[in-house]
Structure 1
Amino acid sequence: MSKALQILQKYWKHDAFRDPQEQIINAVLEGKDTFVLLPTGGGKSICYQIPGILLDGICLVISPLIALMKDQVENLQKKDIKAIALVGGISQNEIIDVLDNCQFGNYKFLYLSPERLQQDWIVDRLKELKISLIAIDEAHCVSQWGHDFRPAYLKISKLKEDFPAIPFLALTASATAKVQDDLIKQLALQDPKIFKKSFERKNIAYHVIKTENKLSKIKQTLSRNSESSIIYVSNRKACIDMSSQLNHLGFGSTYYHGGLSHKEKEKNRLLWMENKVQVIVATNAFGMGIDKPDVKTIIHVHLPQNLENYYQEVGRSGRNGKKAFGILLTSSSDIISAKSQFISILPDTSFLKNVYIKLNNYFQIAYGDGYNDNFSFNLNHFCSQYQFPILKTYNSIRFLDRQGIITLQNLFSEKIYLQFIIPSKEVIRYMSLNTHDEEIIASILRTYTGVFEMETAINPILIAKKSNTTEKNVLEAIYKMHQSNVIHLKIHTNDSNITFNEAREDELTINRVRKFLETQNQQKEEKFKKIVDYIENVSICKNKLLLTYFNQETILDCGICSTCILKNKKNNINLVHQVAALLQLEPYSSLEIENKLSITTEETIFALQELLEQNKILIHSNNKYFFKQ
């Protein structure tokens, strides 16, 4: 029995490796650079954790999300394997302590974000460690063609110069052929061993359901499938609203988004992980590194940005091998809304140049000056001064960062800190005199128990939810307390830091990167078209569409997706006649047709599409279909 298999059995209690885990581990143990493409749930972490245990020294794991790092470290620690992470929000002294532990404490794993590699003193400390392996998780982030590109990932290749004899292991769950080639180049992998596994998840049924009443469809789906579920939405407000609606309907629900405090994220995550609630409603901030085998259903309420994101998010279901569902709900307005959200905010060359020039003017940088100048920067103030749309401007500045023209750090780190500076008795008296704010203040006191002892970061959205009011009212109550000398208030308004890496040259600078911008925009538009095609194509198996996107061909239809179910119905013609007969009586919505005829959503959609194509029916502005006279 190999040592790797002994480790697997001892710590993970599995009798055998999944294909091709053992081959990957052997390549790493032989000291070879390795590229791994395993679909979500394919067991990527074991591919670096087992070599990390076997090799003499510490395995450095570069990972993009705190949630992922925390989850991995916790799992290793439960197995009595010494692991530690450099997460955000810790002081320099705490970082030094972590690195000292790694150097002198026999730790086997050190997790850190790619942004940490931008701090030279941390890289210098890493050089003092006995590093045995460098693993890059979510490696698609290295490529500018990847769906979640992070500029800081480009710094990783410099570690090759510092650790030339140490193998690199790059792992990802979703990368097209173009991204694969690019990330191998960007990471400077030397003659890498390449391992790929099929993207096909035979136990997942991919369904696209068109409906104008998404909440009703969610209720129906969750009632039929009472197991653990994730509902993905596009923004924080929708997150909170949807969770509240589900709780009102009797489904145990919590939520997760990037604006929550670390404590709140962890509390909500555990509620769901421990099956104390059925559903977690989340933005795409949730998911990486979340390994929950019993997830039955993934529902997308809004269109995902691309098929890579969609595949990864749906892939968090069915990891126990049982049948699972990936359901994408769409309405008539979704494509227009998504285009506005994803495509309309892309800057063209003219807009980018204008932002760059105004950015220099904002900091009073003269032509030919500015090299290595550093400034605090508030995006909202900048956009307000020049009447720029925020998201389009943000994308412009991110592009300048990716091209190395500027370096952007700590975007959107604005926080509200407060501390009560009067005794608790006086706070109670203040509440009695300001009854309109009483519940808000009580929620702050209940949520943040240390607010009398220290300045405490406050999450206004959370307090608004707990006190059943709006974020605006919470902020007004906080400002009123500050004016009344009840609290000490501190607001960090500089939401980022900008360093200019080049002297100002205006048109010359932008012309140099114009082609990259045009290519990037074209790529994002193409990715969006693929999402639209996935939704609208009712003739090709959904599983086939996904596999083709990832350059994998398959002959057989899956038989369980929404398209295949329609194809396999023998009574489609009768369905069309039934729907036509019903609409000849009076107009009905798709949901009303479904209920009247006791047919499925897929059958209803099929019949309506057939009648629309035959030009026999039309749709009113109130989303009711009627038969043409």
Structure 2
Amino acid sequence: MSEALQILQKYWKHDSFRSLQNEIIDSVLSGQDTFALMPTGGGKSICFQIPAMMSNGICLVISPLVALMKDQVANLQQRNIKAIALTGGIKSDEMIDLLDNCQFGNYKFLYLSPERLQSDWILDRIKNLPINLITIDEAHCVSQWGHDFRPAYLKISTLKTHFPKTPFLALTATATPKVKEDIINELGLQKPQLFQKSFARSNIAYMVFEVEDKLFRIEQILKKNPQSSIIYVRNRKSCLDMSSQLQSMGFKSTYYHGGLTPKEKDKNMQLWMQNEAQVIVATNAFGMGIDKPDVKTVIHIQLPENLENYYQEAGRSGRNGEKAFAVLLTSPSDIIQAENQFIHILPDKKFLNQVYLKLSNFFRIAYGEGINEQFSFNLNQFCLKYKFPVLKTYNAMQFLDRQGIITLSQEFSEKITLQFIISSKEVMRYMSLNPKDEEIILTILRTYPGIYEMPIPFNLDLIARKSNHTEAQIQGVLQKLKERDIIEYHSKNNDSKLTFNEVREDERTINRVAKYLENQNALKKEQLKSVLNYINEKESCKSKLILDYFGEKTKEDCGICSYCIIKKNKKTNFNQLSKEIISILKTEDLNSREIQNKINNQSADVIFVIQQLVERESITIKPNNKYTLKI
């Protein structure tokens, strides 16, 4: 048995490698620069984690995704593998300690964002580490033609000068041929070994349905396939609304979005992971590092921004190899909504400059200052103050984040202030009458000696650890003390933290990145066109359309997508179905759902025939959405 397989079995409890994993590991171990294009669910992390475990030294992992870094570090630590992530918000002295640990503490993995490499002192420290492998995750970010370009990725190639004999491993799940070529050139990969797993997922049926009533169709799908499902929606409000509607219809449902606290996210995630909830309704904040093998159905009820994201999200179904469904429900108004959501809210250079200036003024950053300053930030308050449109402003800030000008952390935080408003003698009396609360109160008093004189910023996690209680228990005691007028207790939620990574230089800063903004906006328009082509193309296999987008050619139709199913059925029952629908409409006008209820046939077939009858002008639709025979 090979050493790689032994490590896989010991730490990951798998008996064999997935397709291409072993070949990629061998390439890295031989010292070759390596490029691996492996669609979502292909097991990319194993490709660098195992060779790093087999070699002396530490593996440097460059990733733009804080959530994914934290998730991978936590997973490695659970396996007793020493790993560290240098994420945003870590102070310089703490970072020095962490880098000391990397150098002297026998750590195997160091995760950091590409922006960290732009700090000279961090780069100097990394140059002195025994790096055995440099892994670039989400490598498409190096390409201006990728769907998430970050200029900081362009600096990664400088590591080649410091580690000329250390192999580079570039990993991505989605890259068109143009992006693939860009990755190899911009990272300076030397005669790289290329590994590309097919984008074909033969067990996934890609379905596109134009429907009038999306909720009704979702009900049909979930009843027909009562296994684990994901429903992707556009925003946080839709998460709550859809999940509530499904619960009222008898489905066990939960939800997930970026505005939940870490505890709420984990609680809802576990309900779904353990199949206590059939459905999780989510925004695109959901999915990072999720590997649930038994997901039967992924449903999108709005158009995705691009086919890269859609492919990744749809690919979270069917990872156990069993037949699964990726369903996209559309209606005529979706195209207008998608243009409003993805195109009309793209910031131009003028707007980007306004946002950056106001952001600096909002936090009183003087010209030439501000580097590494961090603030709590509420997007809605900022937009309200300057009368900025929220979505357009958010996109502008996301762009500034990707350029490394700012870091916008979406992690939920809670600011608490606390003050005792009765005398210490009365507090002692309360503790003697309530001995269960004594340990928590004494810990608070010992930790914050000035808490009688003024409101003190309060660290819930610290008190929980010091008193050996849970945060929920601490909050319970605080609530009780507040109700009895013993303390003043205020908590304020902030939806993000904002860090300025550069000194303020106003227009000079924006001029430097303006060309990237223009490229990004043009790319986003082209990407939405590809999505519209995917839903509107009626004469091609849906799987072939996706493969073609990623530069993979195939002559064979998949046989299971919505186009292929309709193509099979065309030969048999559509003439008869047309006659049945016309016969029903002779007696009364009906909407599509009422027609489906009266005809014992697949709903997709009924919708298709209705559309054909409308196109042939045999029937017409009235203002009340009911179909009637054409007079």
Contact 2:256–2:286, Cα closer than 8 Å, also in 1: yes
* 600-609 or 82-91, larger mean C-alpha shift: 82-91
Once residues 611 and 562 of structure 2 are traced to their aligned partners in structure 1, the CA distance between those partners, rounded to angstroms, is 14
**Offset at 1:250?**
2.8
Shift of 1:565: 0.5
Q: Which moved further from structure 2: 531-540 or 121-130?
A: 121-130
Comparing 483-492 with 141-150, which one deviates more in the overlay?
483-492
Map 1:538-553 to 2 at 5 A: 538-553=538-553
Q: Determine the structure 2 residue equivalent to 1:554.
A: 554
- Secondary structure in 2 matching 1:486: strand
Q: Partner of 1:200 in structure 2?
A: 200
Of stretches 377-386 and 595-604 in structure 1, the one that deviates more from structure 2 is 377-386
Deviation at 1:319, TM superposition (A): 1.1
Give the AA of the match of 2:601: I
For structure 2, which runs of at least 5 residues remain unmatched after alignment? 423-446, 448-454, 462-478
Residue 147 of structure 1 and its aligned partner are, at CA, apart by: 2.0
- 1:409 is matched with 407
Deviations 1:462-502 (A, max 9, x none): xxxxxxxxxxxxxxx9xx99x99832456769953446668
Provide the secondary structure at the position in 1 that maps to 2:606.
helix
Residue 403 of structure 1 deviates from its aligned partner by: 6.3
Cα distance per residue 1:171-192 (max 9 Å; x no partner): 1111111221222233232332
The runs of 5 or more residues in structure 1 that have no matched partner are 425-449, 458-476
Partner Cα distance (1:537, 1:133) in 2: 44
SS of 1:585's equivalent in the other structure is: coil
Aligned to 1:215: 215
TM-score, structure 2 length as denominator? Answer: 0.81
Contact conserved, 1:207 with 1:328, CA < 8 A, in 2? yes
Rounded to whole Å, the distance in 1 between the matches of 2:519 and 2:185 is 19
Output aligned runs, 1:386-535, within 5 Å: 387-396=387-396, 398-399=398-399, 407-410=405-408, 415-421=413-419, 454-455=458-459, 486-489=488-491, 496-498=498-500, 510=511, 516-535=516-535
- Matched with 1:62 is 62
SS in 1 for 2:7: helix
Rounded Cα–Cα distance in structure 1 between residues aligned with 2:335 and 2:74: 40
The answer for the alignment partner of 2:587 in structure 1 is: 585
- CA shift at 1:337, angstroms? 1.0
Q: Tell me, yes or no, if structure 1 residue 141 matches structure 2 residue 141.
A: yes
CA distance in 2, matches of 1:592, 1:484: 62
Structure 2 residue aligned with 1:605, among 587, 604, 607? 607
Name the SS of the counterpart of 1:276 in structure 2: coil
1:587 is paired with a residue whose SS is: coil
What does residue 446 of structure 1 align with? none
What SS does the aligned partner of 2:297 have?
A: strand
In structure 2, the partner of 1:243 is 243
Distance in 2 of aligned mates of 1:546 and 1:207: 12
Q: Distance in 2 between matches of 1:98 and 1:349?
A: 39
Offset of residue 292 of structure 1: 1.5
Verify the 8 A CA contact 1:35 1:171 in the aligned structure 2: yes
Partner of 2:458: helix, strand, or coil? coil
Asked whether the 8 Å contact 2:261–2:412 carries over to 1, the reply is no
Instruction: Say whether the 8 Å CA contact 1:69–1:289 is kept in structure 2.
Output: no
Matches for 1:71-470 after TM superposition, within 5 Å: 71-87=71-87, 95-348=95-348, 351-352=351-352, 370=367, 383-384=383-384, 387-396=387-396, 398-399=398-399, 407-410=405-408, 415-421=413-419, 454-455=458-459
Q: Is the 8 A contact 2:259 2:412 kept in 1?
A: no
Identical counterparts, % of pairs? 58
Shift in alpha-carbon separation, 1:119–1:349, aligned structure 2, 3 A: closer
SS at match of 2:589: coil
Normalization by structure 1: what TM-score? 0.81
Contact 1:416 1:491 (8 Å CA) reproduced: yes
Q: Deviations over 1:339-389 (max 9, x none)?
A: 110011123455556667877898999xxx955665878665664555432
Q: Are the aligned partners of 1:136 and 1:169 in contact in 2 as well (CA < 8 Å)?
A: yes
Over aligned residue pairs, what C-alpha RMSD do you find? 3.7
Between structure 1 and structure 2, the one with the greater Rg is 2
Give the aligned partner of residue 471 of structure 2. Answer: none
Instruction: Flag the 1:269–1:162 CA change in 2: closer, same or farther, 3 A.
Output: farther
Report if the CA contact (8 A) 1:233-1:302 is conserved. Answer: yes
Alpha-carbon separation, structure 2, partners of 1:491 and 1:318:
38
**Residue type of the alignment partner of 1:496:** L
Q: Would the alpha carbon gap of residues 585 and 97 (structure 1) be closer, same or farther in structure 2, given more than 3 Å must change?
A: farther
